[in-house]
């Protein structure tokens, strides 16, 4: 079976798509090449790196990439993780399956530092569950 090329897309490629890229890589193992990008680039959010490290997944080497950098990659699947990216997603040629799930943006969380981190963990856990199911459904 050929490895699938999967792109995770969100607005800034700083939180949600980074979390999803980390989990999709973890759950898919050698079955997929996973990329993430944004309609814009905001840099990888340090809190996203932190909450993933709490779950023993290192995304500290991830970079924030613009979707245009990947227009020549033959993607099999494109997963948008926010409504803005879904609406602004460019056209990818070929037989590309599109998936969409609008996750809340933990970077917009307000409150005490602990409350903000709790929101990052809550969204991380939602994305983890989604990615585990996604891999089981679409890669096995």
Residues 11-35: pLDDT tens digits? 999 999 999 999 999 999 999 999 9
- The owner of tokens 């227009």 is 71
Distance CA(140)–CA(127), nearest Å, equals 19
Which residues are designated catalytic? Answer: 10, 82, 89
Distance CA(37)–CA(50), nearest Å, equals 20
Structural domains present in the chain: 4-138 (3.40.50.2300)
Cα–Cα separations (whole angstroms), residue 54 to 32, 39, 42, 100 = 24, 28, 22, 26
pLDDT over threshold 90, residue 88: no
pLDDT over threshold 90, residue 59: yes
Structure tokens at 86: 């879904």
Cβ proximity of 110 and 116 under 8 Å: yes
């Amino acid at each position: 079976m050929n490895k699938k090329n999967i792109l995770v897309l969100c607005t800034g490629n700083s939180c949600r798509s980074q979390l999803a890229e980390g989990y999709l890589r973890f759950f898919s193992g050698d079955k997929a090449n996973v990329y993430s990008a944004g309609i814009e680039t905001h840099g990888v959010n340090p809190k996203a790196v932190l909450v993933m490290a709490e779950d023993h997944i290192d995304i500290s080497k991830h970079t924030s990439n613009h979707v245009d950098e990947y227009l020549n990659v033959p993607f099999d699947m494109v997963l948008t993780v926010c409504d803005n990216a879904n609406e602004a997603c460019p056209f990818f040629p070929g037989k590309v399956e599109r998936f969409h799930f609008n996750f809340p943006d933990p970077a917009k969380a307000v409150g005490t530092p602990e409350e903000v981190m709790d929101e990052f963990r809550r969204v991380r856990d939602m994305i983890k569950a989604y990615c585990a199911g996604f891999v089981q459904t679409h890669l096995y």
